[in-house]
Amino acid sequence: MSLFEYIMVLTSILIGLGIAELLYGLVRMLRTEFSEKFFLPQSIWAVFIFLHLIMIWWSRWDLRENFEWNILQLLLSLTGPILLFILAGLIFPQNKNSRDHYYQQRDSFFNILIVVLVVDSCHEVLIEGSNILSLVNLLIFMMLLSSVIARFSSRDWVHTISALICILSVGFFAAMTVFSLS
C-alpha cells in the first residue's frame, strides 16, 4: 500500500462519515412532525456540504503519484473533511422547526464554514501547488465572501443567495475537473 492510499483511507472514512451524517440528518428530519420541515437555505447548504465532500475526495486523486507527505500536510488535508462532518451534523434539526434551528446554528455554521474555505484555499496553494490567484481560489473567495455576508444577515433571501453562490461554485469546480481524472 502506498502512502497516498494509506492517507486516502483515512480521508475516505472521514468523508463517508460526513455523508452518513447528512443522510441520517435527512432521515431524522423526515421523521419529525413539524409543519416546516424544509427551509430552502438549509436544504441548499446540505447539498453543498454533500458536493463539497465528494469534490474533496475526487480532487485528492491528483496527489496520487508525485507527492511527498508530512504530518502537517496530512493534518491540513484532514481538516476540511473533519469540519465538513461537523457542518453536516449542524445543518439538520433534531426536534425543532427547520428555520428556527438554522438561525440558532447560524453563527457556528458560518464560522466553521469560513474556516473550511480558508483551509481549502491553503490546501490549494500549499499542497495542490495552485497559484494564489488561480480560478479555484477565486471560486473559494466568492464562497468565502458570500458566507461572511450570510453570517451577519438574518434575511432568508441573503441565505438562499449565499447558498446558491456556494453550490454553483462547487458545481463549476466539478465541471472543470469532471474530465481531468483518468
Strands (E), the chain: none
Measured distance CA(16)–CA(178) in Å, rounded: 20
Give 69's contacts (C-beta < 8 A, 6+ positions apart).
3, 4, 7
Would you state the pLDDT for residue 17?
A: 96
Residue whose entry in the numeric block shows the C-alpha cell 469560513 = 114
Would you state the pLDDT for residue 128?
A: 81
CA dihedral 31, 41, 46, 173 (to 10 degrees): 160
Would you state the pLDDT for residue 6?
A: 83
Would you state the pLDDT for residue 41?
A: 95
- Other residues' Cβ atoms within 10 Å of the Cβ of residue 145: 13
Q: In the chain, what are the domain boundaries?
A: 3-177
Long-range contacts for 95-102 (Cβ within 8 Å, ≥24 apart)?
95/32, 96/34, 97/34, 97/35, 97/36, 98/29, 98/34, 98/36, 98/37, 98/38, 98/39, 98/42, 99/36, 99/39, 99/42, 99/156, 101/42, 102/39, 102/41, 102/42, 102/159
Question: What is the mean pLDDT, run by run of 10 residues, along the chain of 182 residues?
Answer: 82 95 89 74 95 90 76 90 96 84 94 96 87 89 96 95 95 76 49
Would you state the pLDDT for residue 102?
A: 92
Would you state the pLDDT for residue 134?
A: 85
